[in-house]
Amino acid sequence: MDGPFVETTFHVRYAETDAMGQVHHSIYPVWFEEARSELMRQLGSHYAEVEADGFFIAVTEMWTRFHAPARYGHAVTVRGWVEAARSRGFTFRYEVRHARTDQRLATGQTKHICIDRHGRPCVIPPWLWEKMGVERET
């Protein structure tokens, strides 16, 4: 993790759990998205600004590895950072930890591509590179 990262901590909500009392697997991508959004906010950019400028950052790939269950009432910390950046896209990495014990609960990754208003891949605008604070790989 060489570049900027974000940590956000919150309590697992009852609605996020399944019949086994564990956080449902479909919730982790929502938590990952919140980490991405918070990272952009902390870097001085809101995703709404990206869209208003005519660009969209579409998810092209996602995976999650579950290490231990998160449960209702647990405080969890979600950490997110940009792992790689190329001319047209970013790769974000995530780690979910139990906030009190620091036990690793899940890890994940999302890959994104920059597209224009017509859905065509395009180069990430220079102002977004500056705000993201990462170096572009060639």
**3-15 pLDDT, tens per residue?**
678 999 999 999 9
Strands (E) located in 23-74: 55-66
Contact 108, 100 (CB under 8 A): no
Instruction: List 114's β-bridge partners, or say none.
Output: 57
| 137 has a pLDDT exceeding 70 | no
**Sorting pLDDT into bands at 50, 70 and 90, what band is 125?**
confident
Residue range 5-132 forms a domain whose CATH class is alpha beta
Q: What is the pLDDT of residues 65-99, one digit of tens each?
A: 999 999 999 999 999 999 988 899 989 999 999 99
